[in-house]
DNA sequence: CGCGACGTTGATTTGCCTCAACGATTGTGG
DNA sequence: CCACAATCGTTGAGGCAAATCAACGTCGCG
């Protein structure tokens, strides 16, 4: 498949890699032959609990969430992925064992997906993909560690303030109950926090 | 520096890499010329808040902790690193900006450290180091995500049980107050949990 | 239209924290 | 080697942050 200006999804991915170590022409071609475009509608799943996570996904537009469901049926949001984010269940993807989580579109979304074997092919044949994905995962690691720090040290209100800083636009895009689930609090309590924040910002 | 059987610290590191993509002779030599051995005594620091984190460290023996200190002076443990673990403040290490955390030895420890520029040299010249560090960071990512899930979905008692499963030997090696700090609860409350667990296991 | 998701409010309960006190242990300097 | 301080683990009383449960109005959607 030739690269051309009409292939807008792929150009978003190529531009994304410019933030790391930019790709050569050949590497770009490999992207186009190993990543597959997919449109996901609202409430569509790209991974369900019990299935093996077969793809590493790049979000071109829209928004997805990854979450676990506990014994009582409650959902716990682990990650939101918007434009230019990556999302996958790393544990299931590399081990090829059944996943414990769901990945679901919150908005109609366009994504680019690569399969496990194809990504290994890119890793094996191109140093740069190993490097760029190392960096991508490192950044996710930093985010996760910050989130752990918040969780073990900060109150619900502080965590919400931090969330607003980190994702200023998200409260406009998704229901507050989703944010509450991400923060590890109830929707009722988040409602109270937001009321308090209005009075004393 | 020649490789020989007396170089026990380095052989631990080489053996560690056998879990990933094992190193060639040349790559092993690069390890020996870019990693530096260091003994850290109990309560010794390899990183203090405000300093730039200059090293990526591999723990050969002993145990270290990484923690943040909040406005009230309380410590919050982000990571324990024991034999064959890696520890660094990724955010500071790659950005070369001042760190927000401390890394301190809990036990007398032997570690191997590589500096930022030297690690970049290995990344640039050896595909395999980019790959192996990608995998190391991915595994840390999986751990961190599991911990976030625990934090947003489980009670203090459940988190402690999970901790015991994950690190069965740690409670013998370090004070419970350190574990409480890791779990995000007070030492007093952990004491109560442990009392309850004796009665109903 | 009517149903189901959402946001809010209030009353009540509970998980966990704070503070204070106490032995037991560790370790450290004289 | 001892004495004394510091750290640790535990217990209990009281308080607060956040959950639970129930109710209600709103809105978007089939």
pLDDT band at A1 (very low <50, low <70, confident <90, very high): very low
pLDDT digits (tens, 9 = 90+) for B39-61: 999 999 999 999 999 999 999 99
Has residue B22 got a pLDDT over 50? yes
Q: CA of B12: how far to CAs of A47, B19, B82, B84, in Å?
A: 39, 12, 13, 8
**pLDDT greater than 90 at residue B195:** yes
CB-based contacts of A62: which residues, under 8 Å, 6+ apart? A40, A82, A83, A105, A106, A107, A108, A109, A110, A111
Query: What is the Cα–Cα distance from B44 to A176, expressed in whole angstroms?
Result: 45
Quote the mean pLDDT of chain B: 94
- Shortest Cα–Cα distance, B20 to chain A (Å): 13
- A180-189, B6-15, B32-41: least confidently modelled range: B6-15
Instruction: Return the half-sphere exposure (C-beta side, CA atoms, 13 A cut-off) of residue A94.
Output: 12
The domain limits of chain A are 8-125
Residue A93 above 80 pLDDT?
yes
Q: Please count the CA atoms within 13 angstroms of the CA of B134 that sit on its side-chain side.
A: 23
Give the pLDDT mean for B2-14: 74
Looking at per-residue pLDDT, the higher value among A182 and A200 belongs to: A182
Number of CB pairs, chain A paired with chain B, less than 8 A apart: 90
pLDDT tens figures, A31-63: 999 999 999 999 999 999 999 999 999 999 999
Confidence of residue B6 (pLDDT cuts 50, 70, 90): low
pLDDT band at A94 (very low <50, low <70, confident <90, very high): very high
pLDDT of residue A110: 95
**pLDDT tens for each residue of A66-86:** 999 999 999 999 999 999 999
pLDDT of residue A8: 84
Mean pLDDT of B61-68: 96
- Nearest Cβ partner of B68 from A138, A142, A149? A149
Which residues in chain A have Cβ-Cβ distances shorter than 8 Å to B103?
none
Distance CA B108, CA B201 (A): 34
Residue B79 has pLDDT above 70, yes or no: yes
Residue in chain A lying closest to B146 (CA): A78
- Which residues of A fall within a CB distance of 8 Å from B68? 149, 153
Residue keyed to tokens 């988040």: A190
- The answer to whether residue B3 scores a pLDDT higher than 90 is no
Å from the B43 CA to the D4 C1'? 22
Supply angle C-alpha A95, B136, B90, rounded to 5: 135
Interface of A with B (CB under 8 A): 68, 70, 74, 76-78, 90-91, 94, 123, 127, 130-131, 133-134, 137-138, 140-142, 144-149, 151-153, 181-184
A70–B153 C-beta distance less than 8 A: yes
Give contacts of A141 with chain B, Cβ < 8 Å: 90, 137, 140-141, 144
What is the tens place of the pLDDT at every residue in A131-150?
999 999 999 999 999 999 99
Q: Which residues contact B13 (CB under 8 A, 6 or more apart)?
A: B31, B35, B58, B60, B112
| pLDDT of B58 | 98
User: What phi and psi values does residue A91 have, to the nearest 5 degrees?
Assistant: -60, -45
Confidence of residue B198 (pLDDT cuts 50, 70, 90): confident
What span, in angstroms and rounded, lies between the C-alpha atoms of B80 and B181?
Answer: 11
Contacts of A152 in chain B (CB under 8 A): 76-77, 151, 181-184
Which class does domain A8-125 fall in?
mainly beta
Contacts of A181 by beta carbon, 8 Å cutoff, 6+ apart = A67, A74, A75, A76, A77, B152
Judged against a pLDDT cut of 50, whether residue B2 lies above it is answered with no
**Contact flag, residue A175 CB and nucleic strand D, below 7 A:** no
Query: What pLDDT, on the 0 to 100 scale, is given for residue B1?
Result: 47
Nearest beta carbon to residue B138 from set A94, A146, A148? A94
- With CA atoms as reference, the chain B residue closest to A101 would be B149
- Long-range contacts made by residues B64-69, C-beta under 8 angstroms, separation at least 24? B64/B40, B64/B103, B64/B104, B64/B105, B64/B106, B64/B109, B64/B111, B65/B103, B65/B104, B65/B106, B65/B178, B66/B101, B66/B102, B66/B103, B67/B101, B67/B102, B67/B104, B67/B181, B68/A149, B68/A153, B68/B100, B68/B101, B68/B102, B69/B102
Mean pLDDT of B67-76: 94
**Rounded to 10 degrees, what is the CA torsion of B189, B195, B198, B201?**
-30
Q: How confident is the model at residue B201 (pLDDT cuts 50, 70, 90)?
A: low
| Contact residues for A110 (Cβ-Cβ < 8 A; gap 6+) | A9, A37, A38, A39, A40, A59, A60, A61, A62
Specify whether the CB–CB gap between A123 and B131 falls below 8 A. Answer: yes
CB contact under 8 A, B152 and A74: no
Q: In angstroms, rounded to a whole number, what is the distance separating the alpha carbons of residues B71 and A72?
A: 37
Among B18, B93, B102, which residue's Cα sits nearest to residue B56? B93
Nucleotide with minimal C1' distance from the CA of A192 is: C8
pLDDT for position A6: 56
- Nearest nt to the CA of A189 via C1' is D18
Find the closest chain A residue to B123 by CA distance. Answer: A131
- Secondary-structure class of domain B8-153 per CATH: mainly beta
């Amino acid at each position: 498949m030739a690269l051309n200006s009409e292939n807008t999804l792929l150009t978003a991915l190529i531009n994304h890699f410019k933030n790391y170590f930019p790709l050569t022409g050949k590497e770009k071609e490999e992207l186009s032959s190993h990543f597959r475009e997919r449109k996901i509608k609202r409430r569509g799943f790209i991974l369900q609990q019990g299935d093996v996570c077969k793809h590493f996904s790049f979000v071109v537009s829209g928004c997805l969430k990854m979450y676990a469901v506990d014994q009582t049926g409650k959902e716990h949001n682990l990650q939101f992925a918007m434009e230019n984010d990556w999302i996958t269940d790393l544990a299931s993807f590399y081990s090829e064992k059944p996943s414990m989580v769901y990945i679901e579109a919150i908005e109609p979304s366009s994504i680019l997906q690569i399969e496990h074997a194809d990504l290994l092919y890119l890793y094996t044949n191109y140093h740069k993909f190993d490097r760029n994905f190392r960096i991508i995962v490192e950044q996710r690691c930093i985010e996760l560690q910050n989130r752990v720090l918040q969780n073990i040290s900060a109150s619900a209100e502080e965590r919400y303030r931090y969330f607003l800083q980190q994702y200023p636009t998200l409260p406009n895009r998704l229901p507050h109950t989703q944010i509450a689930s991400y923060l590890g609090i109830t929707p009722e309590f988040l409602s109270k926090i937001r009321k308090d924040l209005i009075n004393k910002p």
